[in-house]
């Protein structure tokens, strides 16, 4: 592949990722609109998503065969995916859409720490510095938004899970097609959440859907999950888990704008929240600039 073709392919993957992140930003709005609990919501979400992917494979006559060891890896990764989404929607219900989405920005920090450890690579000082600024922003939000402590904790643990399965997927996508990975992970999430609901007697009247819930869940399960999840995994053939995590942090920008349009959530936020959010989002935008400057200096020397 020539340098020009490589750059074109990179730009294409970045464009796909940005569009995917915009779709993910809308999931917070849907989560706030759907009336059922976080666990029930995610159960319906992965049911619709895995079902739609299975239908896609049947129509296109795509083979789903993978090795036994990979099957178990993907199914267990599905537990992280399911846990991430449950805590994400729980955080929204315990706080607000902006608070949850800003907490999700800590994916960058956790990926900067976990990716070198898992892949046995040298830890980047710049990535850790970016992570430190994100921690400072989160501490500010914690300090001024104490009424949302449970929601913030749920959001941060959700980010840990998202970071871990993103790193795992960045390795799996080198061997298997993104739709196949997505199908087994989403199916795994469905199985784990079903087991949890069976043991906690969760299949009860609380799972009953209102009229509007059905439409919102269909959009969430198809466009925002099966389609977006496949796209998000596929770009990892060329983009590192850290870079994906960094761009994913634009989700708060899209989500906060949409939450203001739909719910006027910004009126509930203190000045401390906005200072923390600006620190986090500025770090996200300035990181690639700093990375390019360092690379240029190295090339000159």
Question: Which DSSP category does 95 fall into?
Answer: S
Q: Is the pLDDT of residue 82 over 70?
A: yes
Give the pLDDT confidence of 17-65 residue by residue, as tens digits: 888 888 887 887 888 889 898 999 999 999 999 999 999 888 888 778 8
Nearest to 51 by CA among 206, 182, 176: 182
Predicted local confidence at residue 196, as pLDDT: 92
Taking the C-alpha atoms of residue 110 and residue 194, their distance in angstroms, rounded to an integer, is 28
Domains of the chain, by residue range, sit at 35-300
Predicted local confidence at residue 10, as pLDDT: 75
- The share of the chain scoring above pLDDT 70, in percent, equals 93
Give the pLDDT confidence of 181-225 residue by residue, as tens digits: 989 999 999 999 999 999 988 898 889 898 889 999 999 999 988
Mean pLDDT lowest among 92-106, 108-122, 226-240, 259-273: 259-273
Q: Residue 76, class by beta-carbon neighbours within 10 Å (0-12 exposed, 13-18 middle, 19+ buried)?
A: middle
- The region, left, alpha or beta by phi > 0 then psi within -120 to 50, assigned to residue 90 is alpha
Q: Is the pLDDT of residue 299 over 90?
A: no
Task: Report whether 233 contacts 182 (CB < 8 A).
Answer: yes
Confidence bin at 249 (pLDDT 50/70/90): low
Predicted local confidence at residue 44, as pLDDT: 95
| Average pLDDT score, the chain | 83
């Amino acid at each position: 592949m020539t340098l020009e073709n490589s750059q074109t392919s990179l730009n294409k993957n970045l464009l796909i990722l940005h569009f995917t992140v915009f779709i993910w930003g809308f999931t917070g709005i849907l989560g706030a609109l759907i009336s059922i609990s976080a666990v029930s919501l995610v159960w319906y979400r992965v049911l619709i998503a895995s079902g739609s992917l299975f239908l896609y494979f049947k129509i296109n006559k795509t083979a789903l065969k993978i090795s036994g060891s990979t099957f178990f890896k993907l199914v267990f990764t599905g537990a992280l995916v399911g846990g991430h989404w449950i805590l994400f929607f729980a955080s929204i219900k315990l706080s607000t859409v902006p608070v949850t989405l800003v907490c999700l920005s800590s994916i960058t920090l956790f990926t900067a720490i976990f990716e070198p450890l898992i892949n046995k690579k040298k830890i980047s000082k710049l990535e850790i510095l970016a992570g430190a600024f994100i921690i400072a922003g989160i501490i500010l939000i914690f300090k001024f938004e104490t009424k949302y402590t449970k929601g913030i904790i749920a959001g941060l643990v959700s980010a840990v899970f998202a970071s871990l399965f993103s790193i795992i997927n960045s390795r799996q996508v080198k061997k298997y097609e993104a739709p196949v990975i997505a199908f087994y992970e989403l199916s795994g999430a469905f199985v784990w959440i079903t087991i949890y609901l069976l043991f906690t007697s969760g299949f009860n009247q609380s799972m009953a859907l209102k009229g509007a819930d059905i439409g919102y869940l269909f959009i969430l399960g198809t466009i925002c999950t099966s389609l977006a999840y496949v796209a998000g995994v596929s770009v990892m053939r060329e983009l590192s888990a850290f870079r994906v995590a960094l761009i994913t942090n634009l989700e708060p920008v899209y989500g906060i704008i949409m939450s203001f349009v739909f719910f006027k959530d910004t009126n509930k936020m203190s000045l401390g929240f906005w200072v923390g959010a600006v620190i986090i989002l500025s770090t996200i935008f300035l990181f690639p600039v700093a990375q390019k400057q360092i690379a240029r200096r190295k090339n000159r020397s």
